[in-house]
A and B are shown apart, each in its own frame.
Chain A
Amino acid sequence: MLEIKNLHARIAEDGTEIIRGLNLTVKAGEVAAIMGPNGSGKSTLSYILSGREDYEVTEGDILYNGESILELDASERAAKGIFLAFQYPVEIPGVATMQFLKVAMNEQRKYRGEDELTTPEFMRRVKEAAAELKIAPEMLRRPLNVGFSGGEKKRAEILQMALLEPKLCVLDETDSGLDIDALKVVADGVNALRSPDRAVIVITHYQRLLDYIVPDTVHVLYKGQVIKSGDKTLAHELEAKGYADLIEAAA
């Protein structure tokens, strides 16, 4: 589903290279965890996958279902099924949550040549998904993410993910700022979306989230490269020993 080949990328504004020859393959149905110390390029990778313009790719390629996505803007990538759950979901005063959800769902459908949802059908889907994630209807009546608590914001991200039904989900530090109950709700939401034709990339600092969303593969990112890949036991190893040994071995 996703193939990242020798990717080099830098911050557009000042030219700082963040990703330095990264290789990664994620298959359909797979849950891949990306771990690594602060500053290793984890969040940058999530932004580059989703098409944020603050970064430029200088070398290499990103293939999604066999096609390069480098020329697609963020909205086209989203419409093709790439979803980024933000580490810090953005507040947008003046844009109602329901309106935002409806526009996003219908714009994606339009891009794919599908019919727009009728209002009753849209309402039905939102109600169902919101109930699963224990999201109160009052929350949906507020402007997007405005006045939401940290946990509510993360649940709202997973709600959007459930409604948009992406093929490749990238969760950027979804566990940050969550207490254990909220973490379980979010993890259940993600696990409910696991399917043979969907891939999930879980970017995280800690093993904790991976107890709830159990990965098929674990990749360690350091200085913009994958320095080691393994199965879920690698995450446990890192939890016990830290990154130092791995970094030394890679140096």
Chain B
Amino acid sequence: MNMQQAIKMTAAETALVDAYTAQIGDLPGDGAVLSLRDTLVHELRTAGLPTRRIESWHYTDLRTLLRAVPAADPSAFADRVEAVVPGSSVLAVRSGQADLKSLPKGVTARSYTESLLDGSAVVGLTVLGADDAIGRINGGLVRGGLEIAVAENVELEAPLEIQVVQSHGQAHTRFPVFFGAGAKATVIERHLSTNAEASFVSTVSDVTLAERADVIWIILQQQGLADTHLGQIRFDLGKDAKLHLFVINAGGKLVRQEIHGKASGEGADLTLRGINLLGGESHTDVTFTLSHDVPHTTSSEIIRNVVFDRAKGVFQGKILVAKDAQKTDAKMSCNTLLLSDDADFSAKPELEIFADDVQCGHGATVIDIDHTQLFYMLARGIPENKARAMLVNAFVAEIVEELEDDEELVEALEGIISAWLEKHA
């Protein structure tokens, strides 16, 4: 793919390759895993980080934006924190070691480090094409994570919360999760930083829903203002499987969250909801691809962005409808509230449709706070910060409230959102 001569590596590229070299002999893996790691890091070294010349990275020139990568420090994971929803089973990943004490009935889990060591991980340690920089970095450097299975027809009463808490250094985690036929669960994948020191985090979740599985999966990114977060979730939806995927970005300095899914069983349904709360000098990119591969699958995507200060946001959404995927119904929208003159958001919705009997649509809007509404609230004695927060909150609350079946979850997420807004308004 890249015929040009070896490029001059940037500081960040050098740091990533150095992190790998420094950990040779220490990174877990059997022969096959280690040789795959070598290949991935070699590719990273020769291709470099992606630039704007690569279409899928056009709005996030990672090579330019990623100025530095802190050195790896395997002891840099921090203590677990309170669960978002009280009563959740918390699975924390510390120093690559999973803490498996509180597994609910019907759920099995093991440390991903073991899968790396015995080589079973090699099947899933793939990259999604030549431009998959996140898959490559993560595959080269991953130390741990969790392999989780929810058994057939098991309905979890409380959410499972996967926690990756980081203080500084690097964290590279992976979470293959399998939901058996008819399983019903809520999973909160939560990434957060405990302090202002820079962290570099990559994470890949690989989620499979067997037929009729019904899953709410929430990615809650609450990294610190100096952190780089490269996240990816891959999913595959079986027959009549339902996934409600909710991505909340409420932190980080440089963030890319990729979502790559396949609706591969008839009747599969995806609901994607995204809330990007962006402030400071951050850059946040949510990139989504979904392929409707078979007939009668549905998807709906709504992304709501709130952009303060000099923050930049990106949403790229691409829906592919295969030739045989007749009767596909897909609707995608991206709405942005720009709250400062220096805030910036780029939205790029795309549809690629090869079938002829489908209903697909997309739309994007950009708005500002309504000054008449703001004055009305002030005139009732509500201070400006609070009034703005309420108006912005109203803009995003609508899609949180769709999770109405779980009141505690709605309340918890609304709490996180309004706390963030009150701090930034």
User: In the docked arrangement, what's the CA distance between A74 and B394, Å?
Assistant: 21
Q: Does A125 contact B (CB under 8 A)?
A: no
Contact of B397 among A52, A94, A111, A160 (CB under 8 A): A94
List A contacts of B380 (CB < 8 A).
75, 78, 100, 104, 160, 164
1/0 contact trace for A84-107 toward B, CB 8 Å?
101001101111000010011001
* B 362-378 contacts with A by CB, 8 A: 372-373, 375-378
User: Is there an interface contact between A92 and B391, defined as CB atoms closer than 8 Å?
Assistant: yes
Also in contact, A95 and B379, with CB within 8 A (given A75-B384, A90-B372): no
B381 and A86 form a contact (CB under 8 A): no
A171 at the binding interface (Cβ < 8 Å): no
Tally of chain B residues near chain A (CB < 8 A):
21
- A90 to B377: give the CA distance in the assembly, Å: 9
Most buried by A among B375, B390, B393, B398: B375
Taken together as a complex, chains A and B put the C-alpha atoms of A103 and B380 apart, in Å, by: 9
Decide: A75 near B372, CB < 8 A? Known: A93-B394, A103-B390: no
Name the one of B377, B381, B386 contacting A164, with C-beta atoms under 8 angstroms. Answer: B381
B395 and A94 form a contact (CB under 8 A): yes
User: Of B372, B378, B394, which one neighbours A78 at CB under 8 angstroms?
Assistant: B378
Residues of A within 8 A of B22 (CB): none
Contact A78 B395 (CB under 8 A): no
For the complex, is A79 an interface residue (Cβ under 8 Å from B)?
A: yes
- Whether B361 is near chain A, meaning CB under 8 Å from some CB there, is no
Interface residues on A, range: 20 to 34
Cβ contacts A157-178/B at 8 Å (1 or 0 each): 0001000100000000000000
Question: Is B383 close to A, CB under 8 A?
Answer: yes
Q: Tell me which of A78, A95, A164 contacts B390 (CB under 8 A).
A: A95
Chain A nearest CB from B302 CB (Å) reads 14
The interface residues of chain B lying within 8 Å CB-to-CB of A52 are 375, 379
Q: Give the complex CA separation of A53 and B382 in angstroms.
A: 15
A67 contacts partner chain B, Cβ-Cβ < 8 Å: no
CB neighbours (8 Å) of B397 from chain A are: 94
Establish whether residues B376 and A92, one from each chain, have CB atoms under 8 Å apart when the complex forms.
yes
CB distance from B339 to the nearest CB of A (A): 16
A204 interface residue (CB < 8 Å to B): no
A104 near B382: Cβ-Cβ < 8 Å: yes
Q: Which residue of A lies closest to B378 (CB)?
A: A74
A107 touches B378 (CB 8 A): no
Closest CB in chain A relative to B395 CB, distance in Å: 6
Contact A95 B394, beta carbon cutoff 8 Å: yes
A103 near B386: Cβ-Cβ < 8 Å: yes
Task: For B384, list chain A residues within 8 Å (CB).
Answer: 73, 75
Residues of chain A lying within 8 A (CB to CB) of residue B146: none
Is B381 in contact with A95, judged by CB distance below 8 angstroms? no
In the complex the two chains form, is A84's CB within 8 Å of B379's CB? yes
Chain A residue at minimum C-beta to C-beta distance from B376: A90
Task: Chain B residues near A160: list those with CB within 8 A.
Answer: 380
Task: Give the chain B neighbours of A207 by CB distance below 8 A.
Answer: none
By beta carbon, the residue of chain A nearest B390 is A95
Residue of B nearest to A112 (CB): B381
Instruction: Report yes or no: B383 in contact with A75, Cβ–Cβ below 8 A.
Output: yes
**In residues 92-115 of chain B, which contact A (Cβ within 8 Å)?**
none
Q: Are A90 and B386 in contact (CB under 8 A)?
A: no
Q: Is B116 an interface residue (CB 8 A)?
A: no
Residue of B nearest to A99 (CB): B390
Residues A78 and B376 in contact, CB atoms below 8 Å apart: no
B183 interface residue, CB < 8 Å from A?
no
**B387 CB–A CB distance under 8 Å:** yes
| A83 neighbours in B (Cβ, 8 Å) | 379
Most A C-beta atoms less than 10 A away, residue of B376, B380, B383, B390: B380
| Minimal Cβ-Cβ distance residue in B for A101 | B380
Contacts of B393 in A (CB 8 A): 94
What per-residue 1/0 map shows which CB atoms of B292-303 lie under 8 Å from chain A?
Answer: 000000000000
- A225 in contact (CB, < 8 A): no
Q: Does A189 contact B (CB under 8 A)?
A: no
- Fill in one digit per residue for A42-83: 1 if any B CB lies within 8 Å of its CB, else 0: 000000001111000000000000000000011100110001
Given A73-B378, A90-B376, A95 and B391 touching (CB < 8 A)? yes
Query: A78 touching B379 by the CB < 8 A rule?
Result: yes
Which residues of A sit under 8 angstroms from B379, Cβ to Cβ?
50-52, 74-75, 78, 83-84, 86
Interface residues of B in 384-410 (CB under 8 A from A): 384, 386-387, 390-391, 393-395, 397-398
Known: A92-B391, A92-B394, A95-B394. A107 touches B381 (CB 8 A): yes
A93–B375 Cα distance when bound, in Å, is 15
Q: How far is the CA of A104 from the CA of B380 in the complex (A)?
A: 6
Q: Assess whether B375 is in contact with A79, with CB atoms less than 8 Å apart.
A: no
Interface residues of B in 233-290 (CB under 8 A from A): none
Contact residues in A for B398 (Cβ distance below 8 Å): 94
List the A side residues contacting B391 at CB < 8 Å. 92, 94-95
Which residues on the B side are within 8 Å of A100 (C-beta)?
377, 380, 390
User: In the complex, what's the smallest C-beta–C-beta distance from B322 to chain A, in angstroms?
Assistant: 37
Nearest chain B CB to A23 CB, angstrom units: 24
Interface residue from A75, A103, A164 paired with B378 (Cβ < 8 Å): A75
- Nearest 3 pairs between A and B by C-beta? A94-B394, A78-B381, A74-B378
Q: List 13 A-B contacts (CB under 8 A).
A: A50-B379, A51-B378, A75-B378, A78-B379, A94-B393, A94-B394, A95-B391, A100-B377, A100-B380, A107-B381, A108-B381, A111-B383, A160-B380
Besides A51-B379, A83-B379, A95-B390, 16 other A-B contacts (C-beta < 8 A):
A50-B379, A73-B384, A74-B378, A74-B379, A75-B378, A75-B379, A75-B384, A79-B381, A86-B379, A90-B373, A92-B394, A94-B394, A94-B398, A95-B391, A107-B386, A108-B381
